[in-house]
Amino acid sequence: MKAPSARGPALLVAACTALVGCESGSSGDGSSAPRRSGTVPVVASTNVYGDIVRQIGDDRVEVVPIIDDPAQDPHSYEAGTQNQLALSRARVVVENGGGYDDFVGRMLRGTKNSSAEVVNAVRVSGKTPAAGQELNEHLWYDFPAMGKLADRIAGALAKAAPADASAFRRNAEEFQGKLTSLQAEEARIKADHGGAAVAVTEAVPLYLTEAGGLRNMTPADFAEAVEEGTEVSPGSLRETLDLLTGKRVRALVYNEQTAGPQTEKVKRAAEDNGIPVVAVTETLPPGKDYVGWMKANVDALRRALEK
């Protein structure tokens, strides 16, 4: 997914900076609300990371996710002054990195909040792009990376609230145990369906499909064009459609949040040819926590391959 942009109305940096000392928090949508006394104020670039922080920090944190609408295309994200205000008072900031959410760093610098502990998921993961390739920045579909991130978040929260350090560590370990169960499900897919061919509309789910031992047959320029929001070439679209009309793949993994004419055409081709479509998103759906969401994705992929 192309990095969300920070275009939009000019941020009222001066006004927000003047409010750094206020005790405002968030109701989860970036709006101001009284912050509970003694909690650690945290800002996360998306509600995915916001939920992980909540699982580790429990009631000891007050989290503001910047992008938290499952209907929001991160490509068209527009920053608001409430986001800037939340960043101005954050003790911990969690971002993805890798070019995905550069707006966080820009906004944070504008607040002059140099004391916030910034946790960058890409740096924590240790992942680097292969030679001649770009890094797949959608790290929340990589469970080992999220396990490392949990450790780092627990450490950042402990620095902000030393008296609660042991609780943060226990919660991180519990979260990592749930990730281990998800990895076991991926291993089951690999054992049963390793080598099976799939298509994707873009790179979002590739950490998941790769962990399941699946082969991505999608032309690289098709996925890249969708990710960059540029026009898919006729030849690339035809090649992708041929995968489906020729029934050369077992499933199509489809990012619902960046649907467009080309990806809709690919989806219809899959449906018309009896190829299961596995819908994924980039942000947390309503009513789900991170683990429940990822379990649903893993289960949906497994069911598709069993058809």
- Dihedral sign of CA atoms 109, 146, 228, 133 in order: positive
The answer for residues whose C-beta is within 8 angstroms of residue 80's C-beta and 6 or more apart is: 8, 9, 11, 30
Residue pair 198/215 in contact by the 8 Å Cβ criterion:
yes
Q: How confident is the model at residue 134 (pLDDT cuts 50, 70, 90)?
A: confident
Beta bridge partners of 191: none
The residue assigned the tokens 């999220």 is: 146
The residue ranges of every structural domain in the chain are: 13-178, 194-306
pTM for the full predicted model: 0.87
Q: At residue 250, does pLDDT exceed 60?
A: yes
The predicted structure's pLDDT at residue 224: 87
Among 100, 94, 93, 95, residue whose Cα is nearest residue 137? 100
pLDDT tens string 101-128: 988 998 999 998 999 999 999 999 999 9
Residue pair 121/143 in contact by the 8 Å Cβ criterion:
no
Q: At residue 13, does pLDDT exceed 50?
A: no
CA distances from 304 to 19, 196, 220, 250, 260 (A): 51, 11, 23, 8, 23
Give the end-to-end CA distance of the chain in Å, rounded to a whole number. 29
Pair of tokens at residue 105: 């760093």
Hey, do 13-178 and 194-306 end up sharing a CATH topology, with the first three levels equal? Answer: yes
What does 39-106 look like in DSSP terms, one character per residue? PEEEEEEEHHHHHHHHHHHGGGEEEEEEE--TT--GGG----HHHHHHHHH-SEEEE--TTS-THHHH
Dihedral Cα 38, 43, 46, 50, nearest 10 deg: -20
Share of the chain above pLDDT 70, in %: 85
pLDDT tens string 41-89: 999 999 999 999 999 999 999 999 999 876 665 555 666 888 999 999 9
> Between vectors from CA 249 to CA 223 and to CA 180, what angle results, nearest 5°?
80
CATH 3.40.190.10 fits 13-178, yes or no: no
pLDDT tens string 160-210: 999 999 999 999 999 999 999 999 999 999 999 999 999 999 999 999 999
CATH topology of domain 194-306: Rossmann fold (3.40.50)
The predicted structure's pLDDT at residue 5: 39
Residue pair 276/41 in contact by the 8 Å Cβ criterion:
no
Q: How confident is the model at residue 7 (pLDDT cuts 50, 70, 90)?
A: very low
The predicted structure's pLDDT at residue 21: 35
pLDDT tens string 283-297: 999 999 999 999 999
